[in-house]
């Protein structure tokens, strides 16, 4: 196994074995999360503590939306002392990930009946309580209730202001569905700020990554898809991740973009070149900088290799799949999407598409401050530098929920 130096890096984000990942997690930035939650979760599952569960039901959309909603659900579970479970719908996460610290596996919930569920007076305003998702089992808040935040504009406002412990406080199982990230928004919540900072020792810039690394580690079958690329990333002294997002349709079936349409995406690589110059490493004879390219288009990957040769690290045998619907029709494509998402978090800097949740959430896993350059149409790629990076919680306004909305925290 190639060993990568860890000076100045968060070790949790670059481990390539489950054993090393566990060791890095329990001794690093995220260790308070492990200390505060692991035993509680085990006690609830074993019946030694009050049976209070939060079951996350994924939206039928891409990996970024699923992870954004999941981390919001997990943060509520932390703050309300519930055991997090992840429903195997629409695709079992166990197909892609191991469980480093807690067992979040559960049986498939009952399929929905498209009829109104019984409501409860403590249901947050605007939350839909009818079965348009995976479950519809509300019983008036007596034992089971359901919160659906999918595509809800008021989601972040609620997560900013609510006292979570007062919402469905006595239910055995709270089902929670969302594609809206709120892990940064919740640091505005005066009811829970102190717990997040002092008990869990989280920050807006580390919360998403700590929770992601706590819940998941890629299965051997997942990392095996990009094994050669992982080794190249580990062996390189400095790696800049470059994400190019074109269109969902290029991640389905055999569609791909026309080679003539690739030229505008050179801006992303120009940004990486500018960053190298600003870091003073572009002309270094002793330091070879590599670029890890993830893209939803195979055409883009091949063209990048033509342009930049062995400076590029990328997978070209197939394309990632947009993990919507069940995600099991093309398990290789789903594993590739998950593996590259994880691997992108191993890089030192990240050049991402501003509007893409995939790039944001992958960058958040790295637990690095001020490492992300988000490319917009109006961005001058030749001005990319460490001084123009965005903090991890200020990466955009999309549903990934990693933008801070007011003062610095």
CA 84, CA 69: separation in Å to the nearest integer? 13
- Segment 67-102, tens digit of pLDDT: 999 999 999 999 999 999 998 877 789 999 999 999
Q: In the prediction, which pLDDT does 28 show?
A: 87
* Longest alpha-carbon distance in the chain: 68
Domains of the chain listed by start with CATH number? 11-218 (no CATH), 220-388 (3.40.50.11350)
- Of 326, 269, 56, 281, nearest in space to 176 by CA: 56
How many residues belong to the chain?
Answer: 409
Greater model confidence, 337 or 154 = 337
Q: Do residues 325 and 60 make contact, with C-beta atoms less than 8 angstroms apart? A: yes
Q: In the prediction, which pLDDT does 286 show?
A: 80
- Segment 371-389, tens digit of pLDDT: 899 887 767 788 899 988 8
Highest mean pLDDT among 52-66, 186-200, 318-332, 363-377: 186-200
Q: What is the pTM of this model?
A: 0.87
Q: In the prediction, which pLDDT does 145 show?
A: 78
Q: In the prediction, which pLDDT does 130 show?
A: 39
């Amino acid at each position: 196994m190639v060993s990568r130096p860890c000076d100045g890096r968060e070790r949790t984000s670059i481990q390539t074995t489950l054993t090393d990942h566990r060791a890095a997690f329990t001794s690093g930035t995220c260790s308070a999360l492990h200390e505060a939650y692991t035993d509680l979760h085990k006690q609830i599952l074993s019946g030694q503590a009050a049976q209070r569960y939060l079951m996350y039901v994924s939206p039928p959309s891409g990996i970024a939306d699923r992870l954004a909603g999941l981390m919001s659900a997990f943060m509520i579970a932390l703050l309300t002392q519930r055991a997090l479970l992840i429903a195997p719908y629409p695709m079992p996460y166990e197909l892609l990930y191991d469980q480093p610290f807690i067992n979040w596996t559960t049986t498939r919930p009952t399929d929905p009946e498209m009829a109104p569920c019984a409501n409860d007076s403590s249901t947050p305003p605007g939350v839909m309580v009818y079965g348009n998702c995976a479950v519809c089992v509300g019983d008036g808040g007596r034992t089971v209730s359901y919160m659906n935040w999918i595509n809800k504009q008021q989601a972040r406002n609620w997560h900013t202001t609510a006292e979570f412990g007062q919402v469905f406080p006595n239910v055995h199982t709270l089902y929670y569905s969302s594609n809206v990230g709120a892990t940064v928004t919740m640091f505005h919540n005066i009811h829970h700020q102190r717990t997040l900072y002092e008990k869990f020792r989280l920050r807006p810039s580390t919360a998403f990554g700590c929770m992601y690394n706590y819940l998941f580690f890629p299965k051997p079958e997942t990392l095996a898809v990009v094994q050669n690329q992982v080794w190249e990333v580990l062996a390189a002294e400095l790696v800049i991740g470059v994400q190019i997002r074109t269109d969902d349709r290029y991640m389905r079936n055999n569609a791909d973009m026309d080679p003539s349409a690739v030229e505008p995406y050179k801006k992303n690589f120009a940004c990486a070149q500018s960053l190298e110059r600003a870091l003073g490493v572009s002309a270094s004879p002793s330091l070879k900088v590599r670029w890890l390219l993830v893209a939803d288009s195979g055409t883009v990957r091949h063209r990048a290799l033509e342009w930049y040769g062995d400076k590029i690290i990328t997978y070209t045998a197939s394309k990632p799949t947009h993990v919507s619907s069940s995600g099991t029709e093309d398990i290789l494509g789903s594993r590739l999407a998950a593996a590259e998402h994880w691997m992108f978090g191993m890089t030192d800097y990240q050049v991402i598409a501003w509007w893409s949740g995939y790039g944001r959430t992958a960058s958040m896993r790295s637990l690095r401050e001020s490492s992300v350059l988000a490319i917009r149409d109006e961005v001058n790629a030749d001005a990319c530098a460490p001084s123009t990076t965005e903090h991890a919680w200020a990466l955009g306004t999309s549903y990934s929920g990693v933008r801070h909305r007011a003062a610095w925290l």
